[in-house]
Every structure is written in C-alpha cells, then in structure tokens.
Amino acid sequence: MNHKIKTKRKKFVVTLVISSSIFAYFGAKVSLMLDASLVKTIFGIILLFIASMVLFYKKPTITDKPYKLPILIFTGSIGGIFSGLLGIGGGSIISPIPFLFGYDAKKIALGISFVIPFSSIIAFSSYASVIQLDYISLFILSVAAYIGGVIGNYLLHFQISSKIIKRILAFALYLIAFKMLVVG
C-alpha cells in the first residue's frame, strides 16, 4: 500500500534500516550476557518516560521538515539496541524519538512500517540460533502480524490523524511498560 501511494521516504527508511539492523545484532549478543529481568525493568522505565513525552510534550510538528541524518542514525541505533536486547521489532523505541524532534507522526509511522521487519529479523535470527523454536506458534504469530500490519497500514493512510497516532502510540507504550514492570 505504501508503494502504491508513494509515501516512502528513502533517506528515512534506508538510514533507519541500516543503523537499527547493525545495532540489533549487537543488542542481541549483549542480551545473552545480561539478566533478563534487569533489561525488562530498564526498558519498562524508558517506555514510561517516552510515552509521557509523546503524550504531554508539546513540540510543534512540522509536516515537511527534512530528516536530519544524525537524528536518524541515533534513532535507528537506539531502536536496534533495544530490538536486539529484547528480541522485538524496536518500533516502540524507534517511533517516538522522531516525534520528540518535531517530525510528523503520520509520516514517521509510515516510514517505520518498512524499518521494523529488518531489525526484527536480525534480532530473531540472533536468538533463533540459541533457543528452540515452536514453529506452529511462529507461523500463527507471523500470519497475525501480517494481517495486523495490513489493517494498520490502511487505517494509517485513510482514517487516522497524526494527533490520534500519538495518543495510540503513548497508550501502547504505557501498556508495554506495564507488562514489563508489573506482569513480567
């Protein structure tokens, strides 16, 4: 859908893919040496902070603001590290950082949809080499993620404003932080 509507931001996507993929590999290697509960606690606290910043920090959004390379590399690197540390896609870290620099939420979300699979695959591959996989669950979750991605992409293009995207992201970050800090 993004290709059809021509919403790709090449500099944004390529920079984030490269930086997040490189750092996801290192994050995954480091995670094997760290206590998992410590990493979850740190991540949960960071998510609470980021969710609050996304929800309450009022930096003016500039819809046509050009992406700056150092901000993109920083964003991808931080997202990649956490993607590798936790074995996740990294979108929960990658998405909010550009918001805080005043970039448009809708454009960020569209670009991030191209980035997350790369850091996810790198992190997953690193973990898959040291754990036993449940292929049935893997298949079911892959299909569900694909369907959710298609639905989310459609809503993003045609139904949701940048303001609502920020609120949804903050709510999702609070939920993830709650799970990390309370549920475990």
Domain housing 22: 2-183
Residue 34: phi, psi to the nearest 5? -110, 160
Q: What pLDDT, in 10s, does the model give residues 121-176?
A: 776 776 677 777 788 988 898 898 888 877 877 776 667 777 787 788 788 889 98
What is the model's pLDDT at position 42? 82
Report how many domains make up the chain. 1
Q: What pLDDT, in 10s, does the model give residues 101-125?
A: 777 776 777 677 777 777 677 767 7
Q: What pLDDT, in 10s, does the model give residues 33-52?
A: 888 788 788 888 888 888 88
What is the model's pLDDT at position 140? 92
What is the model's pLDDT at position 5? 44
pTM (whole model) above 0.85: no
- In sequence order, which residues have a C-beta less than 8 Å from that of residue 151 and are 6 or more positions away? none
Top-confidence residue, 9 or 76: 76
Residue 169: phi, psi to the nearest 5? -60, -45
Q: Are 88 and 47 in contact (CB under 8 A)?
A: no
